Chains A and B, each alone.
Chain A
Amino acid sequence: MADTNTRISTIVGENDVVLFMKGTPLFPQCGFSSRAIAILDHCGVAYESVDVLQDMEVRQGIKTYSDWPTIPQLYVKGEFLGGSDIMMEMFEAGELQQLLDEKGVAKAES
């Protein structure tokens, strides 16, 4: 369990924007993950994704790590931001774009 926590904190620490999701950005396996990807793509930022369906330890461990019961989960610069509902609320209010901007997150290469 401690190892899983270390692995997760390494992933979160090494990537400015990382989404723990079900499936991959091209093939999301759940509507909530799909929505999270759509929001990130709209924001035009570069992000890393982790498919929890490929890793049972991370799938359980991430819920403990964040004290958050569901996936997807978005981390920006090491900070847990929330799931797809929070992403949508922030996106609609323009807060997500603003936060990504303020944090100096790199844009996706187009």
Chain B
Amino acid sequence: MPMSGPDIEAAIVAALPGAVVELTDLAGDDDHWAAKVTAPQFAGKPRVAQHKMVYAALGGKMGGELHALQVTTVVPT
């Protein structure tokens, strides 16, 4: 089963408190998502590390159930 939008958002916010998650359903099928994550925890970290933090929040589902999650990370200003 693919993850639902609310599940994705909840998992990210649980791991990164204070994060703002904007989800876009890319294909309208509840399965291809784009997530723009704005989180203070990203400050001062390279992009690879920022994306890894998001993947870690999703608990190993990335690459399996979540093939189609496009991630953008933003440091709040």
Given contacts A69-B55, A89-B72, contact A82 B48 (CB under 8 A): yes
Pairwise interchain contact B51-A86, C-beta atoms closer than 8 A: yes
Query: How many angstroms between the C-alpha atoms of A90 and B60 in the bound complex?
Result: 25
Whether A82 pairs with B51 at a CB distance below 8 angstroms is: yes
Q: What 1/0 flags go to B50-65 for Cβ under 8 Å of A?
A: 0110010000101110
Main secondary structure of the interface of B (DSSP, over half): mixed
Q: Which residues of A contact B41 (CB under 8 A)?
A: none
Closest CB in chain B relative to A109 CB, distance in Å: 30
Tell me the count of chain B residues lying within 8 A, CB to CB, of chain A: 14
- Once the chains are docked, how many angstroms separate the CA of A63 from the CA of B55? 13
Is A85 a contact of B55 with CB atoms below 8 Å?
Answer: no
Q: A85-B71, A85-B72, A89-B72 are in contact. Are A69 and B63 (CB under 8 A)?
A: yes
Chain A residues with CB under 8 Å of B73's CB are: 89
Task: List B residues 9-57 near A (Cβ within 8 Å).
Answer: 47-48, 51-52, 55
Q: A85-B70, A89-B72 are in contact. Are A70 and B47 (CB under 8 A)?
A: no
Q: Which residues from chain A contact B51 at a C-beta distance below 8 Å?
A: 82-83, 85-86
Instruction: Judge whether A69 and B70 touch: CB under 8 Å.
Output: no
Residues of B within 8 A of A82 (CB): 47-48, 51
Interface assignment of A81: CB less than 8 Å from any CB of chain B: yes
Chain A residues within CB distance 8 Å of chain B: 63, 67-70, 80-83, 85-86, 89-90
